[in-house]
Amino acid sequence: MQNKALADIFYKEWNRGVEKFLIHTSGSTGEPKPIILLKKWMIWSAQQTAQYLKPNTNDKILCCLPLNKVGGMMQLVRGLVWQVEIQIEEPSSNPLLVDTDCTIVSLTPFQLYHVLNNNASIERLKNFREVLIGGSDISESIIQQINSLDCKQTNFRHSYGMTETYAHIALKTINGSQKSDWFTPFSEAEISVNEQQCAQIKVPFEDKILQTNDVIELNEVGGFRVLGRADNIINTGGLKLQPEIIEKAIRDHYNLSETFYISSQKDEILGQRLILITEPNFKFNLNDLGFLKTISPYAVPKEIVVVDKLKINEGGKVARKK
């Protein structure tokens, strides 16, 4: 079903007093599962976001994420709570190919990559006051592109959250004078870690702590940064390696935006051997990846596996398990 039809259904349910909304997780780390979102906490989430973005009556939201996912649905809620207009477009790899006078937009890194590779889209991007980026990590090459743009009036914010937290519960600015490597949680969201250094989230609408598989590092003022996912950790030669750290090192070293990821195969000696899975546009060979030894002697992939097309979910993430 198209976004505008989904928006019509949502508005009708919201206005007739429906208090619960069914939505599904993205399925990036497993099978999609249904989640019930309560209206009062959707409003809370929009209010918390407003503390950071400080929307005003002149703002207008460009909604170009799937409305059957929490990232898209919460944009509709923000528009209602903030009492600002919304321009609804269908999800696409580059939603800024159309004219818009909007001032706030949410994009996936996949969408942002395509926006930054089109001159007309870049000019439209510069007119936004707030650009939220969520759904997956942002490569260093994209961050560098953002910081090279002449758009001092635009704040680019990387968001962190999950369906169970009603979209994001933390933001960090990745450009300008407020640029930071650390996410700042909402004032009513508490972040801690378990024994495996995975993030635990406490929000007012949940009696229990929400346990994530995100391996994080906390700083002394309550901020955090994400190192990778615990369920992606590869045990090779008795050493546990976080593939996201290796992937980031490759992207940063070569200033890459190409789609690839680190996985593993069974190995009689190592237990698991690292492999790099990529599409045909990956131009490097194993000898070019020797710099990864600075992470670990076992961080250099043993093989590069080329596939025609990697599976990407709606959030722009590589669907690793698929």
d(CA 149, CA 126): 8
Phi/psi of residue 34, nearest 5 degrees: -75, 145
> pLDDT tens digits, the chain, 322 residues: what are they?
699 999 999 999 999 999 999 988 765 555 678 889 999 999 999 999 999 999 999 999 999 999 999 999 999 999 999 999 999 999 999 999 999 999 999 999 889 989 999 999 999 999 999 999 998 778 777 888 899 998 889 999 999 998 889 999 999 999 988 899 999 999 999 999 999 899 999 999 888 899 999 999 999 999 999 988 888 899 998 888 999 899 988 988 887 766 789 999 998 888 899 999 998 888 788 999 999 999 988 899 999 999 998 887 655 567 777 7
Are the CB atoms for 3 and 90 separated by under 8 Å? yes
User: From residue 156, how far is each of 62, 159, 174, 178 by CA, in Å?
Assistant: 15, 10, 6, 10
Give the DSSP per-residue string, 179-225. --SSBEE-TT-EEEE-TT-EEEEE-TT-SSPEEEEEEEEE-TTS-EE
Out of 3.30.420.40, 3.30.2400.10, 3.40.50.12780, 3.40.605.10, the CATH code matching 3-187 is: 3.40.50.12780
Give every CB contact of residue 141 below 8 A, 6+ residues apart in sequence.
251, 252, 255, 256, 257
**What pLDDT is recorded for position 63?**
97
User: What is the signed CA dihedral for 56, 57, 59, 62, rounded to 10 degrees?
Assistant: 120
Which pLDDT belongs to residue 28? Answer: 54
pLDDT confidence of residue 26? 65
- Would you state the pLDDT for residue 29? 53
Specify the pLDDT at position 285. 87
Give the pLDDT of residue 217.
95
pLDDT for 139 equals 75
**Whose structure tokens read 């259904």?**
9
Phi-psi region of 306 (alpha: psi -120 to 50; beta: other; left: phi over 0): beta
Q: State the CATH class of domain 233-306.
A: alpha beta
Domain residue extents for the chain: 3-187, 233-306
Handedness of CA 183, 184, 190, 193 (dihedral sign): positive
Q: Which of 143, 79, 140 is nearest to 106 (CA)?
A: 79
Look at the chain and count its residues.
Answer: 322
Residue 14 contacts residue 80 (beta carbons within 8 Å): yes
The structure tokens 């962190």 sit at 160
Give the SS3 label for residue 279: coil
Please state the pTM of the whole predicted model.
0.80
Residue 100 identity: T
